[in-house]
A and B are shown apart, each in its own frame.
Chain A
């Protein structure tokens, strides 16, 4: 039974990957690690690790005491565990998958920090100011304000 579920799941993931490619890459695997989901999710939706290369996640996790102006420091062993997960699943990680149109803007040795500054993001989010000023949005990194399934990895709506 477990085996059957695993096979079904594998097929489903393949189908999703193909659909994703056809739809213009609007799916990125979400964070599944429980600690990462909890620690990041306390303040913001945990962003899919495939949005950044591993070196960016390492830089972010190494500077949590000034996390975009916020002190988001974690106990060192938790930070290390989360960093390992993010690097594994980063756009260039062994388990990771990046969005091609996102990654082509990232220099081979560049360490971008803000996903929302990627030209691919900006091109898809070229909205008038009033959209960004909506009280439900607050900031460009608030994916869920407009993409209700973003925390499951879907950015197609």
Chain B
């Protein structure tokens, strides 16, 4: 094999994960843009999502949903960069933080499904677009 062929293979191998990461970030941004549009429609005073509000949402002990999941922390632990555990089934959960799990919040259908399900479980209702955007913004910084 020539050096040229080898270097092409090496470059491709190196570039693939980078492309995947970039695609992941772009998909996540697109999801956030969608939530921002909905948040603005619900409240014309909306400006930007807040990691601080997202963290408060994440750590709050709601106590208004399923007794086994009073908080996001119940499954995702106090440190979202760690592996969590489903408080109902015991199944391990990939970290919620983007730094530990770059594929998080990159597929719209999955994101919508999980917010609808998990918010109902923790808070007892669906999350608003503002809450969803705040949550993802918090996780992006984690």
Contact = CB atoms under 8 A, between A and B. Distances in A.
Contact of B91 (A45, A70, A72): A45
B117 A138 contact: no
Interface stretch (A11-19, A28-36, A86-94, A140-148): A140-148
B120 A141 contact: no
Given A44-B91, A45-B91, A144-B91, A71 B86 contact: no
A72 B88 contact: no
A137 interface: yes
Interface in A46-72: 69-72
Contact of A137 (B86, B87, B90, B117): B90
Interface string B96-108: 0000000000000
A138 B85 contact: yes
B21 to A, nearest CB: 23
A145 B90 contact: yes
Contacts of B121: 70-71
B66 interface: yes
Interface string B67-92: 00000000000000000011111110
Contacts of B114: 42
A70 B88 contact: yes
A137 B91 CA distance: 9
- The dominant DSSP class at the A interface is loop
A43 interface: yes
Contact of B90 (A69, A72, A142): A142
A109 B88 CA distance: 30
A71 B117 contact: yes
Given A71-B117, A71-B120, A72-B117, A138 B66 contact: no
Given A44-B86, A70-B66, A71-B121, 11 more contacts: A43-B88, A44-B89, A45-B91, A69-B66, A137-B90, A138-B89, A139-B89, A139-B90, A141-B89, A142-B91, A145-B90
Top 7 closest pairs, chain A to chain B, by CB: A138-B90, A142-B90, A44-B89, A44-B91, A43-B89, A139-B90, A145-B90
15 contacts: A43-B86, A44-B89, A44-B91, A69-B66, A70-B117, A70-B121, A137-B90, A138-B85, A138-B86, A138-B88, A138-B89, A139-B89, A141-B90, A142-B91, A144-B90
